[in-house]
Amino acid sequence: MSHDPLAAYPDSMREEIARVRRVVADLHAELPRYELVVWTAGNVSQRVRHPEVADGSADVLVIKPSGVSYEDLTPEAMVVCTLDGELIEGTRAPSSDTAAHAYTYQHMPEVGGVVHTHSTYATAWAARGEEIPCVLTMMADEFGGPIPVGPFAIIGDDSIGRGIVETLSTSRSPAVLMQNHGPFTIGRDARAAVKAAVMCEEVARTVHVCRQLGDPLPIGQRHIDSLYDRYQNVYGQK
């Protein structure tokens, strides 16, 4: 009889994992569509919460397999891991950034989605280790201030995840520019994290272009707070 790696999880969680497989597979197509990646250089994940373990310790994450072309990322190709980054279900190894995603979920319980790209303009700011100043109303809306820089960290252990959490735990921004590497974004779900990645690249480009023409004008903190509050709590279809 074949072994079911998800057998220990409640039926409702297994159904949610199947749904999130489709969500995460579909969202990966947004990365090349918005020109945030080349080749396979980006990844998306979403948390699935265990309905009977409130502290999040039994949650899992769904992420793409490492090094697989975006056109081959079907729901069945997605990989399910624990929040320790251990493989639960998948036919290929999970993304090489799984440890960073997992650490973020472990230490930021409100986070439901994580995205990593090497999008050109945001990564250029990361290469300089300079935060993107909040000089656009669009930045105040989505980021609530500057987009911060996280520490230089080498892939392979928890150091990237630690840098993401240390930086974003003291910022309203859903995006962090990991020095010399590129942007990581978070959200209440994977779609929100993908939106943050799209908006991060857009404002990185706009502020870069602005800086070619002169010095951008600052926005007063009172206005940044007001814009952020409106966008986060009023804007759009509720």
Ligand X SMILES: O=C(CO)[C@@H](O)[C@H](O)COP(=O)(O)O
Residue 40 engages ligand X in binding (rule: CB under 6 A): yes
Residue 234, sorted as left (phi over 0), alpha (psi -120 to 50) or beta, turns out to be alpha
Annotated catalytic residue 141 = yes
* Minimum distance from residue 193 beta carbon to ligand X (Å): 14
Distance CA 212, CA 197 (A): 23
Active-site residue (options: 34, 70, 141, 225) = 141
Would you say 50 or 118 has its CB closer to ligand X?
118
Would you say 96 or 137 has its CB closer to ligand X?
96
Q: According to CB under 6 A, which one of 28, 101, 107, 116 is a site residue for ligand X?
A: 116
Q: What letter would DSSP give residue 146?
A: -
Task: Judge whether 99 and 157 are in contact, CB under 8 Å.
Answer: yes
Annotated catalytic residue 231 = no
Residue 66 engages ligand X in binding (rule: CB under 6 A): yes
The residues pairing with 148 across neighbouring beta strands, listed in sequence order, are none
By DSSP bridging, strand 149-150 and strand 175-178 are: parallel
Residue 218 engages ligand X in binding (rule: CB under 6 A): no
Length of the chain, in residues:
238
Q: Which helix (H) or strand (E) holds 101?
A: helix 98-107
Task: Judge whether 27 and 37 are in contact, CB under 8 Å.
Answer: no
Active-site residue (options: 4, 157, 229, 235) = 235
Question: Which residues have CB under 8 Å from 207's CB, separation 6+?
Answer: 132, 133, 135, 136, 139, 216
Question: Which residues have CB under 8 Å from 65's CB, separation 6+?
Answer: 73, 77, 78, 79, 90, 91, 92, 93, 94, 95
Would you say 95 or 185 has its CB closer to ligand X?
95
Site for ligand X in 79-98 (CB under 6 A): 95-97
* Minimum distance from residue 185 beta carbon to ligand X (Å): 13
Would you say 66 or 206 has its CB closer to ligand X?
66
Residue 167 engages ligand X in binding (rule: CB under 6 A): no
Q: According to CB under 6 A, which one of 6, 18, 41, 58 is a site residue for ligand X?
A: 41
* Enzyme catalytic residues: 141, 235
Contacting positions for ligand X (CB under 6 A): 40-41, 43, 64, 66-67, 95-97, 116, 155
